[in-house]
Each structure stands twice: as C-alpha cells, then as structure tokens.
C-alpha cells in the first residue's frame, strides 16, 4: 500500500473542484463548515486537521464519477456535469448550494440566418456537453423526422466553444451562460435553454463506508447551515397582538416564526428568518401593518 492510500484509508473522502467557476466558493463553504486544512499547491489531496476527512481536489466534471463509481463519499459539483457524466442514478443531490447558477443554452450567431431550433436542426453543433446536447437535439430531429445524414451533428471541444461559429467549425453551440457577457462578445445569442444548473452537494446513492455515516451527516448539516446563513437574515420586530396574523403572513420564517410575550400584554416580539433579497420589501410591509422596532440581524452561521 502506497503512502497516499495509507493516509486516506478510513477517512471520509470529500471531492472539491480544483479550479473553475465553483472552486473559490467551495473554499468558503469548507471554512464555514469548520473543515480546517493546509494544502500544498502541488498536491490534489490533503487531510483535514480537525476531522477524519481527506479532501480531494478534482476537475468538477470528474467528481460525479468519483462519487458514483469510486470510493469518494461526498462531493461538490454542478448539476449540469452530473447529467453530462450520466451519473444521475449513481449519485444523490443532497443539497443545492445556491451558487454557480447558470443556464446551458443553444446559441447561434446573432446576425446569421438561424433563429430557431428548427432552423438549426440537421446542422453542426459544437459543445463541451456532448451527451446532453445529443439527447436534446435527438428529440428535435425526431420531431422533424430527420434521419441518417440529415440529423444534427454534435462535435465535442474542450474549450473556446464560443469561438466555434466564428471560426467556421459550427452553425451553433451549446454552452453555459452565466452573465451572457462572453456570449454577446462572441456575437452570439441564445435561442433555447437546455437546462438550468447550480452547484450542489452530492453523495453516493449506495453508501460505501457505513461507519462514516455520522460524519457525513454532520458535514452535510454544517454545510446546510452555511448555505442558509448566506441566504437568510434574522428579522425581529414588535407588533400588537391583534395584528400578529398579518405580520406573520409577511414573515412566516423557514418553518414558523418565533413569537414571545412582552411586559405589555397587548404586544408581542416576533423573530423570523427572511430571505436577504426580500428583506427591504419585508420591512416596508411590516411597518405598514404596524410593526415597530424592526431590526435585521446578519447570520454568520446557523443550523437549519
């Protein structure tokens, strides 16, 4: 047994994207879950110093296969690459993580003659998502009754997909769109959305190390708390009892609002988690129904 195998034997193996759009945010997730480690830039495996965990840094596209078919227990990757790797039956999406959101879209030259999927059917598609694109356009071809050489041609390229049309390799592409800036810079526009995706925490559908289940559950709970603390704030306010129903309809909380009595029996204090993106509107609505002393408190971490 080599030194690496000895080091990771008996540990929970947790796969993290080594680079790309998900990598930096994943490091924040690990910090929030208090998974402490020191990693050499030359090594793709390191050991947590405060848990029985080995972190394995892999390309995001490979992580579903390592979790689904290999010995890796947990992983963070994109929903899109789970489908592309054909691992949906072998891994379980335990928790959506709320970042890395984008769309896999069909794109064509903005000033070209192709404006619909029917226009593009039977022509050349370049993509890094060969499996997903092939399934998608097979349905289009079937609907149009295309057979043999008439059917859409799918070609895989590993990078610079957006340049394929301008360089004469493709009539259209299937690629991820986050802000749309790269798409527009390449003179392309989207004519269809194949799927929407975000980062998620995954585990094997068939657990491999039963003795690690408590640790897997603990880390999953911690990560869920980190995600919730980034999505929600705590809203606290005072309200007359006879207006409590109206107020709690505005702030129902994740499961329920916490209502506490005050010295003045006509009033109660309410505490509820509110989505950050809605908090300004929520505060305005609370004031409109008579809430006073409305406070918003940022969550550093939580358990949900």
As a whole number of angstroms, the distance between CA 171 and CA 185 comes to 17
Residue 75 lies in a domain: yes
Q: In the chain, how long is the greatest CA-to-CA distance?
A: 80
224 within some domain: no
In a domain, 289, yes or no: yes
In this predicted model, what pLDDT tens digit does every residue of 230-245 receive, in sequence order? 999 999 999 999 999 9
Would you call 36 helix, strand, or coil by DSSP?
coil
Clarify whether residues 59 and 203 are in a common domain: yes
203, 69: one domain = yes
Q: What gap in Å lies between CA 271 and CA 239, rounded to an integer?
A: 11
Within this chain, do residues 203 and 55 fall inside the same structural domain, yes or no?
Answer: yes
54's tokens: 């080995």
Among residues 4, 47, 34, 39, the alpha carbon closest in space to that of 229 is found at: 34
Tokens of 94: 């335990």
Check residue 1 and give its pLDDT: 44
Q: Is residue 220 part of a domain?
A: no
pLDDT at 281: 98
In this prediction, residue 41 carries a pLDDT of 72
Domain end residue (candidates: 208, 240, 266):
208
- pLDDT at position 145 is 95
SS3 55: strand
Is residue 218 included in any domain, yes or no?
no
pLDDT at 207: 84
Please report the pLDDT score of residue 208 as a whole number: 84
| pLDDT (0 to 100) of residue 219 | 97
Mark whether 74 and 132 lie in a shared domain: no
CB atoms closer than 10 angstroms to residue 301: 13
| Same-domain status, 20 and 128 | no
* Adjacent-strand bridge partners of 197: 102
pLDDT at residue 4, as a whole number: 65
> Is residue 67 located within the same domain as residue 45?
yes
Q: Is 165 among the domain residues? A: yes
Quote the pTM value. Answer: 0.86
Structure tokens at 204: 């094997």
Structural domain contains residue 286: yes
Alpha-carbon span 55 to 98, nearest angstrom: 21
What was the pLDDT predicted at 3?
52
- Sequence-separated (6 or more) residues with CB below 8 Å from residue 61: 77, 81, 84, 85
User: In the chain, how many domains are there?
Assistant: 3
Which letter does DSSP use for residue 81 in this model? H
The phi, psi pair for 104, rounded to 5°, reads: -90, 115
Asked whether residue 26 falls in the same domain as residue 157, the answer is no
- The structure tokens listed for 261 are 């009595």
Boundary-marking domain end, from 176, 208, 240: 208
* Shared domain check, 16 and 49: yes
Residue 221 lies in a domain: no
**Residue 84 is part of a domain; what is its CATH number?**
3.40.190.10
Low pLDDT (below 50) residues in the chain: 1
Owning domain of residue 161: 102-197
Residues 189 and 244 occupy one common structural domain: no
Give residue 118's pLDDT.
95
């Amino acid at each position: 047994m080599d030194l690496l195998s000895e080091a990771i034997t008996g540990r929970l193996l947790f796969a993290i994207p080594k680079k790309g759009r998900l990598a930096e945010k994943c490091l924040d997730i690990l910090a929030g879950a208090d998974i402490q480690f020191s990693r050499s830039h030359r090594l793709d495996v390191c050991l947590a110093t405060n848990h029985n965990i080995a972190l394995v840094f892999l390309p995001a596209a490979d992580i579903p296969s390592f979790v689904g078919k290999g010995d890796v227990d947990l992983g963070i990757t994109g929903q899109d690459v789970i489908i592309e790797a054909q691992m949906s039956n072998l891994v379980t999406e335990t928790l959506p993580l709320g970042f890395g959101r984008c769309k896999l879209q069909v794109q064509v030259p903005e000033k070209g003659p192709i404006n619909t999927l029917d226009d593009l059917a039977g022509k050349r598609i370049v993509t890094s998502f060969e499996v997903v694109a092939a399934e998608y356009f097979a349905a289009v071809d079937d609907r149009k009754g295309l057979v043999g050489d008439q059917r859409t041609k799918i070609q895989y390229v590993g990078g610079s997909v957006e340049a394929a049309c301008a360089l004469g390799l493709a009539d259209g592409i299937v690629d991820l769109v986050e802000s749309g800036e790269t798409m527009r810079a390449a003179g392309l526009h989207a004519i269809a959305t194949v799927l929407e995706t975000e980062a998620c925490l995954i585990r094997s559908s068939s657990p491999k190390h039963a003795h690690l289940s408590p640790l897997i559950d603990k880390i999953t709970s911690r990560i869920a708390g980190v995600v919730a603390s980034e999505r929600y704030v705590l809203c606290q306010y005072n309200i007359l009892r006879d207006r409590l129903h109206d107020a709690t309809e505005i702030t129902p909380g994740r499961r329920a609002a916490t209502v506490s009595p005050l010295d003045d029996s006509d009033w109660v204090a309410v505490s509820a988690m509110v989505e950050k993106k809605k908090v300004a509107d929520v505060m305005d609505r609370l004031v409109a129904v008579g809430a006073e002393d409305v406070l918003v408190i940022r969550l550093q971490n939580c358990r949900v």
